């Protein structure tokens, strides 16, 4: 009997040792399309641009409660799935050439809402609408930008009116930042908190339309006046 027990114990030890041996496959790794943890999905696909906690990244801060109140679930799904034209935001849905399933995108949207949606913080504030319905006036926008934005965005090598910056940011992203602000970097929302902490006159929907239209116009360099020189004429 003792010999049988000893043999059984030895067999179990051998089996256990095999599982810990180098090269033993162990539990198969989880397939990328089976990951359903918001923490993993956000960390692998969003954090590099939008920040580990939805803020302090090079792109818009997703944890901004005003942004979460301004944007709809459908818009979040659409942007994550198809990307944003004119920006560095690429498409993540498999149907658009990305790596994420529809269920994974739903999990990201649900996770953002659960963590960062703080109720309708815009109730009673009458913010400009999220999307721009019609073109604004670039000339009015230039004046509004000078009066309302120039106090902080003074000319520097990284000025937001520069072509290098505007080439990376879509009109919708500009509009979103103007309306919702970026509290992670101290940028006020459309109500324009003054440096002293007092509210100035809020930007109207028309002001936002005009400023975005003005910034968009800076992406297209002006055509030189007069006839173009004919480089092939030999003169």
Query: Where exactly are the structural domains of the chain?
Result: 32-116, 138-217
Picking from 135, 107, 130, 221, the residue whose alpha carbon sits closest to that of residue 179 is 130
Rounded Cα gap, residues 132 and 208, in angstroms? 9
Residue 223: partners with Cβ closer than 8 Å, 6 or more residues away:
none
pLDDT of residue 16: 53
pLDDT of residue 50: 96
Q: Decide: 94 and 104 in contact? Cβ < 8 Å.
A: no
Partnered with residue 182 across adjacent β-strands are 187
- Decide if 32-116 and 138-217 have a common fold: yes
* C-alpha radius of gyration, the chain, whole number: 27
Successive 10-residue mean pLDDT values, the chain, 235 residues:
51 51 63 93 96 93 96 97 92 96 98 95 94 95 92 74 89 96 91 62 95 93 50 40
pTM of the model: 0.78
pLDDT of residue 175: 97
pLDDT of residue 160: 87
pLDDT of residue 182: 93
Q: Decide: 192 and 199 in contact? Cβ < 8 Å.
A: yes
CATH number of 32-116: 1.10.760.10
Distance of CA 112 to the CA centre of its chain: 12
Rounded Cα gap, residues 195 and 123, in angstroms? 24
Q: Sign of the CA dihedral 207, 136, 66, 45?
A: negative
> CA distances (Å), 52 to each of 98, 111, 124, 188, in order?
21, 14, 31, 22
* Cα dihedral 176, 180, 65, 71 in deg (nearest 10): -30
CATH fold group of domain 138-217: Cytochrome Bc1 Complex; Chain D, domain 2 (1.10.760)
């Amino acid at each position: 009997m003792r010999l049988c027990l000893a043999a059984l114990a030895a067999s179990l030890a051998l089996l256990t040792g095999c599982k810990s041996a180098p090269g033993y496959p162990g539990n198969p790794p989880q397939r990328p399309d089976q990951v359903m943890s918001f923490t993993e999905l956000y960390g692998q696909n969003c954090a590099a641009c939008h920040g580990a906690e939805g803020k302090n990244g090079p792109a818009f801060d997703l944890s901004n409660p005003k942004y979460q109140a301004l944007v709809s679930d459908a818009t979040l799904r659409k942007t994550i799935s198809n990307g944003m034209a004119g920006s560095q935001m690429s498409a993540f849905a498999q149907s658009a050439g990305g790596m994420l399933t529809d269920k994974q995108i739903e999990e990201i949207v649900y996770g953002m809402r659960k963590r960062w949606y703080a109720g309708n913080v815009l109730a009673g504030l009458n913010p400009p609408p999220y999307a721009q319905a019609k073109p604004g006036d670039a000339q009015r926008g230039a004046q509004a930008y000078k009066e309302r934005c120039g106090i902080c965005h003074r000319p520097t090598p990284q000025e937001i009116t520069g072509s290098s910056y505007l080439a990376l940011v879509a009109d919708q992203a500009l509009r979103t930042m103007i309306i919702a602000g970026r509290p992670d970097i101290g940028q006020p929302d459309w109500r324009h908190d003054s440096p002293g902490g007092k509210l100035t006159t809020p930007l109207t929907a028309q002001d936002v339309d005009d400023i975005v239209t003005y910034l968009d116009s800076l992406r297209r360099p002006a055509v030189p006046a007069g006839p173009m020189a004919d480089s092939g004429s030999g003169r």
